[in-house]
Amino acid sequence: MFDYILMLKFDIRKLVNYIVEIRRTPKKLISYFLFGAWISFIILLIIVQVLVITIPAVLIGGSLYWIFRSELAIELGVILANVGIGLLLLGFSNKLFAYIEMKEFSDS
């Protein structure tokens, strides 16, 4: 228990030093902001992966296991869900990724 209190005091002291360092050199704020944005994007990608891939795979795989009582049904359900989501994203890719265009190579 004492070790956790010591670690907490050390972390608070380190956080205070970061804030003081930002006051001394404001350019450090840019690197801290970029680091925070990088961590936020990683968290966002994990959330999107769970919503788009994991939840449908678990629902379909779990439903097929509940119906057939076989591990093979789980594997086929997960593959089916991933293929289905892939085809769905492929179908809407021109709407989802319309901003990614190579205008210098387009025919028009």
For the entire predicted model, the pTM comes to: 0.48
Residue with tokens 């840019």: 30
**Token output for 55:** 């939840």
Q: Is the pLDDT of residue 47 over 60?
A: yes
Structure tokens at 75: 């594997």
Report the alpha-carbon distance of residue 51 to residue 13 in Å, rounded. 38
The residues spanned by each domain of the chain are 2-97
Residue 96 pLDDT > 80, yes or no?
Answer: no
**Residue-averaged pLDDT of the chain:** 79
pLDDT digits (tens, 9 = 90+) for 58-92: 888 888 778 888 788 888 888 888 888 888 777 77
